[in-house]
Amino acid sequence: MISKTMTQTGNGRWKDSAEKGSAMGSTPDSDSKDPRRSDTFESASIADPDSSNADSPVTGWWWFLGAAAGAVLLLDQLTKTWAVRKLAWPPLGDGEVIELVGSLRLRYAENTGMAFSRGSGAGPWIALLAVGISIVLVVFASKATSRTQVILMGVVIGGALGNILDRAFRGNSSGEGGLMSGAVVDFVDVGWWPVFNVADAAIVCGGIALVLFGLREPSGKSHGESPGEDQGEPEIDPTRA
């Protein structure tokens, strides 16, 4: 009704009235027809897409965990099989000692205790502890938010499984053994450290890497701002009105 009355009064008044309305931002299509202004509001209302996944579990975590654990387990068992045939005392093997660099050498040793030839005779209890730790790591891996964490957990699990297999299925040179009472095969001798194997190295190195990685991980959101944070009011250029 107002627009009709203003049209009848003359073109000059209508023009003045339209200019005032535009300056006040009251024209009905001024906001909807300006793509730059609508983009400003849209960008302000949309949060960083990465922030919603910052604390989400790793997709396909079981694949990364299994691949890392399987690779360590395979390498451990292959090297132990070679060590038994080449380094073990007769009649199990050739009884060789291979000198490498400096004090580093490869020689056969059996361990009924824990890693690095410690805790002799406590094999069954150590194997039970290793099983428990592996289960805990699987649970943690299912909730981990970093692929690196999952892979490192798989490395530790693979090392634990490698020594568990030895205790479960390998006897020792004296012919004694049994379920979880077998001897773990060690063969890497650095001269100033107890003899160890690939599984021992994976457990220790993987565990240390997990700790260091956890200490370096920043707290809170690692990507962008959380959706609940104040994004601030978008600036509007008055010349666009």
Checking if the pLDDT of 225 tops 90, the result is no
Per-residue pLDDT tens for 13-51? 544 444 444 444 444 454 445 555 545 444 444 444 444
Query: What does DSSP assign to residue 171?
Result: -
Minimum mean pLDDT among 17-31, 56-70, 140-154, 209-223: which range? 17-31
Residue found under tokens 């150590």: 126
Residue whose structure tokens are 């990364």? 64
What integer pLDDT is reported at residue 84 of this predicted model? 93
pLDDT band for position 233 (50/70/90)? low
pLDDT of residue 137: 95
Q: Is 34 among the residues known to form the active site? A: no
Q: Please state the domain extents for the chain.
A: 61-216
DSSP character string of 122-174: -HHHHHHHHHHHHHHHHHHHHH-S-HHHHHHHHHHHHHHHHHHHHHHH---TT
* Contact between 189 and 105 (Cβ < 8 Å): yes
Report the distance separating Cα 180 and Cα 11, nearest Å. 101
Distance separating alpha carbons of residues 206 and 155, to the nearest angstrom: 6
Q: pLDDT tens digits, residue range 131-154? A: 999 999 999 999 998 999 999 999
89 close to 108: Cβ distance less than 8 angstroms: yes
Task: Give the chain's mean pLDDT.
Answer: 75
Token code pair at residue 4: 């009709």
200 in active site: yes
Compute the average pLDDT of residues 167-191.
75
**Which of 186, 189, 230, 237 does the annotation list as catalytic?**
186
Q: What is the mean pLDDT of residues 156-171?
A: 89
Structure tokens at 60: 């396909």
| Residue 80 pLDDT | 96
Helices 147-169, 123-143: crossing angle, 10 deg rounding: 160
Q: Which is the catalytic residue, given 76, 166, 189, 200? A: 200
Confidence of residue 176 (pLDDT cuts 50, 70, 90): low
